[in-house]
Chains A and B, each alone.
Chain A
Amino acid sequence: MVIAPLLLLPVLLGGPVPAPLFTEVGARALPGVTTLCGSQEKDWIVEVNGGGLALGDFDADGDLDLVIVDGSTVERVEKDQPGNPPRLFLNDGRGIFAAAPKEWAIAPGRWGMGCATGDLEGDGDLDLVVTEWGRTRVIRNEEHAGFRETTAEAGLASLTEWGTSAALFDYDKDGRLDLAVVNYLAFDTRTIGKRGAAACRWKGHDVMCGPEGLTPQHDRLYRGLGDGRFAETTAKAGFMPSAAGFGLGAMTLDYDRDGDTDLYVANDSTPNFLWENQGDGTFREVGMARGVSHDANGKEQASMGIAAADVNGDGRDELFVTNFSGESNAFYVSKGAGYRERSSPAGLAGPSIQLLGWGTHMADFDLDGDLDVTVMNGHVYPQADLPGTDTSYAQVPQLYRNDGTAKFRDEPLAATGPLVLRASAAGDLDGDGDLDVVALSVEGPVRVFRNDVVHGAGTHWLRVRLVARGANRDAIGAQLTVVAGSATRRCEIRTTGGFQSAVPAEAHFGFGADAKADTLTVRWPSGREQILKDVALDRVLVVQEAEEAR
């Protein structure tokens, strides 16, 4: 008799509140692993973006390992001392990581930022490119047994810039991976004022200076020679807009479905770029013409992370871009030959306005058959905790669940409460078929969000890895289309994802209650097409490119 009213309480309050889909298990999965990014006070802009992440199977044992790109401090740089080195952590197959043996050690650089992954020589192992406020570095995988730095051999040792995100993709369709490096701005503590000394204000508070008022750097494009070396083609390929942007995010996608890979670049406080591949080794910047350069009001945003996926099932990827507080995140929905920003009607605008987003992913996290969105949040200014900012330094990471009609409702990603997160990478860490998320704090402990979706009859899934013929063995740029009943789902193979991060080169599909896929069609980067029928689900499927694929 006493219990009944208590049982009614959740109903009276609007129903029981479901537990968050994810549980933060970093203390167990990555015990004691932290990163560094300058001072806690954030006196300089170089201290605020955090490092990078790469998820991939570096030791070829079938599970996802983790590279953490770590930072430094201004004091160390001024003393010409190196920052913290990038580190590899090997997965035990259950989502528990341990520091890799010394064969995998990478020398420290100046100040690590982001990374990209791909097989640079076509030898079947996963190599690494690390961006820094410093050099862009090439780290070769020596037949799954260790790393060796080959930056000088690769031809990248001479430039010192502030690289953020990077992308490995085959833009010229020669079967070899090429490299795009997104650059932020020219940073020098001798010429840029420190917080408090330079009258850089935000909502009446002293904050670090930039990016406005500082000098953006042009992004770089390199053609891969297939043996780990690169030749710069930035100017020759037309990969240089009239005005550089403050580049932060990169995403490869064939936005126009013409069979070659385009590149979308998220810029901070400057219009975003969409580099349309002309199919002849050159690019044309079409961001404005295609409706993805500004928000719906024609205002450039402070863009960071990018997610891309075909949310509405029309065969073209939508783009989701995370932005600054006071701006909403942008959701560019394919329309005609371009896009239209539709974050408001999709329910993705309002809940993001007071937050500052970074790493983001669009995938079927709850395996109900449609695509959801994760966003890691956290402000750049510790001063966001001062009065009158309408925001805070630490913020709650979000999961936006799709209701099946491309309308989203936000909920906390996990029960962690507010955090100051930056880069993120999504992948199936524990091999249970759902996608987990690793996220970096701006500094401090690395977070591992385990997906706790309850597996059953309504949560079928499929992971697909491709093995292509030729040097681009991971088939970056391949298109997969899977038909199950009346639903058609599509996925492009890429390793760009999140923010300053690399994700596994594989497709992940959720099917809800559909127990099998009628067909799986692979359009390989070579142009060949291969169709598999009656595909069983709830497994990792490896597809080899057939010699005579149709």
Chain B
Amino acid sequence: MKAAGERRARCGPSIGHAALRRVALALLVAGCAAAFPCAFAAQIQPPPTAAQRSAAKAAALARDPRLLPSAAKDRWQGFDPDKIAAGDMPAALGDVREALADGDLPLAIAALHAALEAQPDFPPALHQLGVLYFRLQRYGDALVCFQRFLGVAPDRVAETRGLAHALYSLGRYAEARAHYERVVAAAPGDAEARRGLALARYRGGDAEGALADLNAVLESEPDHADAWTWKAQVLLDLDRPEEARVAAERARDLAPWTSRPWFVLSTACTDLGQPKAAQAASERFQRLAEVDQEIRRLEARLEYEPGDLAARRTLVESLASVGDRRSVRTQLARMLQQRPGDVALRIFALDVLDGLGDVEAGGLTARDLERVGAESAAAWKRLEAWYAKVRDRTKQIEAGERWRRLSRP
């Protein structure tokens, strides 16, 4: 449940803002219109029920981007994102920002639809809508948005690698390749587009061309683990297992918590007649692959249900089990942001970071726990253990004293 203060802050600056929430999103500030002071409205309006929230999301996901209104011809001719007139900016973009800050993609999509109905074909909104549909793995919808974006802003080819990504994800490899080529021509430094081009070439049977593109990616981004993995795979297809092994080992060293480098490494070792090394890599792959599957499932769920705390907690545990420190930090930050007053969650976060040996993020979490759990015995008990572990004797003593004091009956 959100705090009243948070709801007040969300009431926002304008009637339009609140009205949009009421009419289009059916969210908690439905009564926060001009006739009521926001603070008062926040007190009298109950928070949205799960069913209301679920209905709002369902309505957002039922929207079809093909049905969005079109702008007048040449309305956005010569569009320059650095020179957008204030009057052109749809008010609903504020809702988009808020929804994105909450990690709530379906609500952000609803707000973008509202923005595009108010300001048809507004290029940044079309582009952002394409990005969000892509993240939700709605590739056909993403494609529609990127194509419309390119239709109204034909000079912005460099920003449309998402269009090629969508084509690729739909299995339309030849079209994806053609568009990647356009993007790379317009933005030669776009490593992600170059990587996409490599994959599209590979899917089309052009392994040599794919290898050249992957080499170009690695020249600009030598620590691109995924590009190293793909390079290893392409080399295997070209019957160059020794080079494939080297590339796979590089990928493994860069991202040892992901399963795929181990898979390719195992295959390379098999091709090289190194059964023991192949078996060792295979066993590591199989352990990681089981976790990968769970992580993919949870990540997909959380894109649609960002408030599912139990799922996010399981995701954090899965990520921690394979040592993916960076992703653990990201997910924990999201959890703590969603539950600003939750002491138990901060103790959980500290446990996870402690287990990973992440002293830096653990220290930040400990300070947050001191603040949020100032009156919690459990918080100070956990903090005492943390400060003992990081050998901060002063803080350890202080935490111990607080714990004992708060534990007294």
Contacts and interface: CB of A to CB of B under 8 A. Distances in A.
Contacts of B233: 296-297
Contacts of A336: 270-271
A203 B138 contact: yes
B270 A338 contact: yes
A294 B136 contact: no
A345 interface: yes
Interface in B121-147: 133, 136-141
B304 interface: yes
B289 A388 contact: no
Nearest to A343: B203
A336 B272 CA distance: 11
B63 interface: yes
B106 interface: yes
Contacts of B207: 345
Interface string A351-386: 111100000000000000000000000000000001
A289 B170 contact: no
Given A336-B271, A388-B136, A204 B293 contact: no
B293 A350 contact: no
B289 A298 contact: yes
A323 B356 CA distance: 37
Contact of B173 (A203, A291, A350): A350
A354 B170 contact: yes
B264 to A, nearest CB: 7
Contacts of A387: 61-64, 141
A344 B202 contact: yes
B252 interface: no
A288 B171 CA distance: 26
Interface stretch (B2-10, B12-20, B28-36, B278-286): B278-286
Contact of B106 (A204, A338, A345, A386): A204
B365 interface: no
B75 interface: no
Given A294-B263, A298-B260, A388-B138, A344 B286 contact: no
Interface string A188-207: 00000000000001011100
B203 A344 contact: yes
A350 B62 contact: no
A20 B176 CA distance: 28
A289 B170 CA distance: 30
Interface string A272-289: 000000000000000011
Interface in A381-428: 386-390
Nearest to B57: A204
Contacts of A298: 259-260, 262-264, 285, 289
A328 to B, nearest CB: 7
Q: Is the interface of B mostly helix, strand, loop or mixed?
A: helix
A390 B139 CA distance: 7
Nearest to B286: A288
B393 interface: no
Contacts of A344: 173, 202-205
Chain A interface bracket (under 10, 10 to 19, 20 to 34, 35 or more): 35 or more
A296 to B, nearest CB: 7
A300 interface: yes
B242 to A, nearest CB: 15
Q: In this complex, which of B262, B278, B289 has the most chain A Cβ atoms within 10 angstroms of its Cβ?
A: B289
Given A344-B204, A386-B62, A350 B172 contact: yes
A387 to B, nearest CB: 6
B144 to A, nearest CB: 11
Interface string B305-320: 1000000000000000
A534 interface: no
Nearest to A407: B205
Contacts of B160: none
A289 B233 CA distance: 16
A345 B205 contact: yes
B301 interface: yes
B178 to A, nearest CB: 14
Contacts of A261: none
A349 B259 CA distance: 22
Interface in B51-71: 57-58, 61-64
Interface string B155-176: 0000000000000011111000
B210 to A, nearest CB: 11
Nearest to B105: A204
A112 to B, nearest CB: 31
B171 A352 contact: yes
Interface string B170-212: 1111000000000000000000000000000011110100000
A351 B62 CA distance: 26
Given A205-B61, A294-B289, A300-B289, 17 more contacts: A201-B304, A203-B137, A204-B57, A289-B279, A289-B282, A291-B267, A298-B289, A299-B289, A326-B137, A344-B173, A344-B202, A349-B173, A350-B173, A353-B169, A353-B171, A387-B61, A390-B137
Interface of B: 57-58, 61-64, 106, 133, 136-141, 169-173, 202-205, 207, 233, 236-237, 259-260, 262-264, 266-267, 270-271, 278-279, 282, 285-286, 289, 292-293, 297, 301, 304-305
14 contacts: A271-B286, A271-B289, A288-B266, A288-B286, A297-B260, A298-B263, A299-B260, A299-B289, A349-B203, A350-B172, A350-B173, A350-B203, A388-B61, A388-B136
